[in-house]
Amino acid sequence: MPGSTRAFATTEAPTRAVARRPNRGPGRLTAAFTTAGGAAGLVLTLALFAIAGLADVVAPTDPFASVGRPLSSPSRLHTLGTDDLGRDLLSGVVHGARTSLLVALSVTLLASTIGVAVGSLAGYRAGSVDDLVMRVTELVLVVPRFFLAVVVIALFGAEVDRLILVLGLASWPVIARVVRAQTLSLVRREFVDAARALGASEVRVMVRHVLPNALPAALVVISVNAASVILLEAGLGFLGLGDPRMMSWGYLANNAQRFLRVAWWMALFPGAAIALAVLGLNLLGDAVNDLLDPHARRTPDA
């Protein structure tokens, strides 16, 4: 396990002392991300962030500008071809990454904030508060997010802030459940008793001692949820419900639908970008999961 540090070559150099402690430390971290799957997840996710962040630099042209002959196939001039209005598809895909990531991050932030707050409250307070909070969580868990988002966008308009709000408000229950389960098991541990015995306030015990230990497990569901939000956003865009002011992968796929016979590239590349982004986040979630679960079988896999 030590020595092979492909993904983290610069940041982590596991020493023998670290390697002897199997439960914590950079040794395990490195191991999780040096499996083929973990490394691929890290690289894909970092690439998504880089492309989205540097979209203006990376994209050859304005994604909405007509710059070439309509429906020209991939060439040296237009790497991924052009669409029916002569817009450069590579620029569209690059700017689509920005929209996808913006939505995924904002929804994740909103859902995680609610989920962590609700979950730790329920786990820490237990009893009737827990009962009530978990009942509400179950109610929200039932809501089909895609169909709710369709109704909300039809009523409130397709601006991206509405989409973020509705998906964020409907995505927290899974996170809350995991945080609650973690908190429930953590509050009975000795170190929490010790903190209390030392006179730490309830809030301090919760925030400084319980929460940091509950979060890693929540990270797994948070990254998987971010992946599902990317798919939802793309699906809504594909039905023509995307924000018209923003280039998105779903919009590109929607536009491609009318040209399946003549312009395969219009359908192929935006969808491939979605698949790679989602794959990256799922693999990252798997890697974090392996890192947390000491029983996880550690074999190099995809």
Partner 1 sequence: MSACYLLRRLAQVVPAVAGIVLLAFVVVHTAPGDPVLALAGEHGDAAYYAFMRQKFGLDRPLPEQLLAYATRLLHGDLGLSYVHGRPVADVVSERLPATLLLMATALTLSSAAGVALGVLAARRADRAADFVVRTGALLAHATPSFWLAQVAAITLALGTGLFPVQGLTDARRPWTGGRYLLDVLHHLVLPALVLAAGELALMTRLTRAGVLEGLATDYARTARAKGLPDSAVVRHALRNAMLPLVTVIGGRVGMVATGAVLVETVFAWPGLGQLMLSSIQTRDVPVLLGMFLLVSAAVIMANLLTDLTYAWLDPRVRYD
Residues binding partner 1 (CB under 8 A):
37, 135, 138-140, 142-148, 150-152, 154-157, 227, 231-232, 234-235, 238-241, 253, 256-257, 260-261, 264, 267-268, 270-272, 274-276, 278-279, 282-283, 299, 301-302
Exposure b/e, 218-227, CB count within 10 A at least 16 = b: bbbbbbbbbb
> Measured from the CB of residue 39, what is the shortest distance to partner 1 in angstroms?
14
Whose tokens are 């237990």? That residue is 126
> Measured from the CB of residue 139, what is the shortest distance to partner 1 in angstroms?
4
Residue 143 contacts by C-beta under 8 Å, 6 or more apart in sequence? 170
> Measured from the CB of residue 122, what is the shortest distance to partner 1 in angstroms?
17
> Measured from the CB of residue 50, what is the shortest distance to partner 1 in angstroms?
19
> Measured from the CB of residue 148, what is the shortest distance to partner 1 in angstroms?
6
Residue 193 contacts by C-beta under 8 Å, 6 or more apart in sequence? none
- In the complex with partner 1, which residue's Cβ is closer, 20 or 261? 261
Residue 66, classed as helix, strand or coil, is strand
Counting beta carbons within 10 angstroms of the beta carbon of residue 79, is it exposed (0 to 12), middle (13 to 18) or buried (19 or more)? middle
> Measured from the CB of residue 270, what is the shortest distance to partner 1 in angstroms?
8
- In the complex with partner 1, which residue's Cβ is closer, 20 or 135? 135
Strand ranges for 46-95 from DSSP E = none
DSSP letter at 87 equals B
Q: Which of 97, 93, 64 is nearest to 267 (CA)?
A: 93
> Cα dihedral sign for 197, 203, 207, 208?
negative
